[in-house]
Amino acid sequence: MYNLFKIAIRNLLRYRRRTLLTASLIMVGVVFVLVFMAVTGSIKSLLIGQITDSMLGHLQIHKKGYVASIDNLPLTITLTPKAMQKIDKAIKDIPEIEAYSTRIKFGGLFSNFVETTNIRLNGIVPELELKTVPLLPARIIKGEKTLKKGDILIPELLAKGMKVTVGDTVVVIATNKDGSVNGKPFRVSGILESVTGPGGRDGYIHIEDAMEVLRMDQMEVSEIVLRLKDFATLQDVYESLMNTLSQEKNEAGKPVFEVHTWEKLSPFYNIARMIDIMTLFIKIMLIAMVLVSIMNVMIMAVYERMREIGTISAIGTMPGKILSMFVLEGLSLGIFGAFIGDAIGCIIIYILNISHITFNFGRQTGLLLAPHIGVADILMVSVTVIVVSVAASLQPAFKASRMEPIDALRHV
Amino acid sequence: MGLITAHNIYKDYQVGEVSLRALNDLNFEIEPASFLSFVGPSGSGKTTLLNLIGCLDTPTEGKLTVAGTDVVSLDRKQRAAFRGKHMGFVFQDFNLIPVLTVYENIEYPLIMVQNVPLEERKRRVLSLLESVEMTEQKDKYPDQISGGQKQRVAVARALVTEPELVLADEPTANLDSKTAYMIIELMKEMQRKSGTTFIFSTHDQRIVGAAEIIYTLEDGMITDRKDTGGNAHV
Ligand SMILES: Nc1ncnc2c1ncn2[C@@H]1O[C@H](COP(=O)(O)OP(=O)(O)O)[C@@H](O)[C@H]1O
Ligand SMILES: [Mg+2]
């Protein structure tokens, strides 16, 4: 084996320029894939962070059927204090959950005493909401960063359209679940920037004000929003929540609760998926590049070394050894290209990190690009390149091993 | 029984529509430890015959036994294994492996073809380097030595596995006559030392006389067999 490697390496060194050229091609491909993965990964997680931390949260729990009719903000599909106790217990059992917020969501009319329009509102417990979606204060572009009872945070578009500004008094009118109508005056305490996704254009009031407007005797929560300590545990937390909560059945034997991750709730998930698909395409291109370039040199190598193949075959080298000799050559080339590519890729990613590149997303400016690549990803890319190198050498190597020595020796 | 026995050997080449008879009903027997040559003009079938004896090719018809084995019935892999075990080759164009040094070229068959332990390899390679007077050049690469030196290395490589038979197809065709003579003398000397059978082909009248037994080939047929005892002079 050592000797086969020695011969393979020496043959690579023999055509130094060609070897370097092919290895650089592989290297460039590897660097490109690694940097692309790191940068898009960074952008993706920043954007996901923006979306989950402004409004959506990481996970949401509703009464079964709520999400299907979320556009109507139904007041009949809610979580009673009894249900809340069960959920509260389930949440406490999962240490990965950092915080959660309860919301009463409803639709109503918004009046500035001159005009009236529709509004969607969230009744929240401000302290809980802030812990769960920490970017909410950043969305308040005018006014106070806090929400007190009697205050209302209204979306930017509504403020513009209704010519309402901070400090104005407005009235919110809503129909409760029994069908009776109630109204309550509020002081506009702040203007909210819109975000993409469901609920991105909603206003906020205190949860107790919401109960008052809706004439609730007991708190009936529309949704519970969860925040995790580590976003990477999303799937695990989702599963353990599902495990405990899906055991709660109603009389008909149907589950009482539904749990959704942010992915199921936001159209942005599709954009994130598109980034993944783009990465996949770039990986496929890398594979094609490695395949073509390695196959090309190996076909050339076999053709050029026909007489050498004839010689070693004539003196009794078994076909399997000849095959390995050429496969090892392709393998070494792949390892070399992948290794240098990994090194340069990591250096470039490091440089991108220390040069503090920022970008803007919506109104959010100065988002810091922090490209990061995991060891697993580097390994995966390298192993792919190496495996493809071997695969690309197989056909030429097989051809070499199958050659009749007299035909090969006659070759000039 | 001889080392090689050939019975009614025919070899036809198919060239397009036409069939060309390169060897025509050859019968001969070669004793072990001979120093033997096939001579004849270009196209007489020397290479074809040596390829058959060397198990590089199979006859169209006939029976050929080498070292007690019916080589016609061997498949591709078996022939490769058989060559590695029983034969050494010296080529017209030397055919050393360019990426290996002189030492490594001689060692090659002991590693890649047979599986000889390191100490034994070292002993054999060094001893052969000595015999072919290439010890000083042992770390040079083939492109750093002359043609005659290359062929000496090739002779050492052919002998390192201690084969029963060494085949050399026109081993001196690419050498000047003085070097050619020296190579033949070297082969003869090595043959005497090792007891290996050497078979070489040539159309060069100047070196033919070195062989103990000379077969003359003409148009694929053996037309003459001379037993000179190797004393004929150049
Ligand atoms: N592969 C081949 N295909 C067709 N004809 C061949 C082939 N090899 C040799 N021949 C023919 O067989 C005859 C003998 O050739 P060869 O054995 O090479 O003779 P020599 O080595 O004595 O010059 C020649 O007529 C040659 O043209
Ligand atoms: Mg010939």
Predicted-complex ipTM score: 0.94
**Averaged pLDDT score across all residues of chain B:** 93
pLDDT of residue B234: 43
Tell me the CATH number at B148.
3.40.50.300
Look at residue B97 and tell me whether its pLDDT is greater than 60: yes
B134 domain-assigned: yes
Tokens read off for A289 = 């590049």
Q: What is the pLDDT of residues A317-340, one digit of tens each?
A: 999 999 999 999 999 999 999 999
Q: Closest to B81 (Cβ–Cβ): which among A4, A307, A316? A: A316
Look at residue B94 and tell me whether its pLDDT is greater than 80: yes
B33 domain-assigned: yes
B232 domain-assigned: no
Q: Closest to B56 (Cβ–Cβ): which among A4, A321, A406? A: A406
Rank A138-142, B120-124, B188-192 by mean pLDDT and report only the highest. Answer: B120-124
pLDDT of residue B175: 92
A residues 288-307 near B, CB within 8 Å? Answer: 307
pLDDT of residue B91: 96
B234 domain-assigned: no
pTM of the model: 0.81
B233 domain-assigned: no
* Percent of chain B residues past pLDDT 70, beyond the cut: 97
**Averaged pLDDT score across all residues of chain A:** 91
As to burial, measured by CB atoms within 10 angstroms (0-12 exposed, 13-18 middle, 19+ buried), residue B227 is: exposed
Please give all residues whose beta carbon lies within 6 A of any atom in ligand 1, as ranges.
Answer: B 13, 15, 20, 22, 40, 42-48
> What are the sequence ranges of the domains in chain A?
2-50+270-410, 65-255
Look at residue B233 and tell me whether its pLDDT is greater than 50: no
Residue type, B153: V
Q: Please compute the mean of the pLDDT values over residues B167-175 and round it to a whole number.
A: 94
pLDDT of residue A197: 67
Pocket test for ligand 1, best of B9, B11, B12, B13 (most atoms within 8 A of CB): B13
Number of domains in chain B: 1
Higher pLDDT, A8 or A251: A8
Q: What is the pLDDT of residues A112-159, one digit of tens each?
A: 999 999 999 999 999 999 999 998 898 898 888 889 999 999 999 899
A219 in Cβ contact with A125 (< 8 Å): no
Residue nearest to atom 8 of ligand 1 (CA): B48
pLDDT of residue B29: 95
Q: What is the pLDDT of residues A165-181, one digit of tens each?
A: 999 999 999 998 888 99
Q: Which domain holds residue B29?
A: 4-227
Look at residue A380 and tell me whether its pLDDT is greater than 90: yes
Q: What is the DSSP string of chain B?
A: --SEEEEEEEEEEEETTEEEEEEEEEEEEE-TT-EEEEE--TTSSHHHHHHHHTTSS--SEEEEEETTEEGGG--HHHHHHHHHHHEEEE-TT----TTS-HHHHHHHIIIIIS---HHHHHHHHHHHHHHTT-GGGTTS-GGGS-HHHHHHHHHHHHHTT--SEEEEESTTTTS-HHHHHHHHHHHHHHHHHH--EEEEEE--HHHHTT-SEEEEEETTEEEEEEE-TT----
Q: What is the pLDDT of residues A274-319, one digit of tens each?
A: 888 999 999 999 999 999 999 999 999 999 999 999 999 999 999 9
CA of B43 to the centre of ligand 2 (A): 7
Q: Please compute the mean of the pLDDT values over residues B100-105 and round it to a whole number.
A: 97
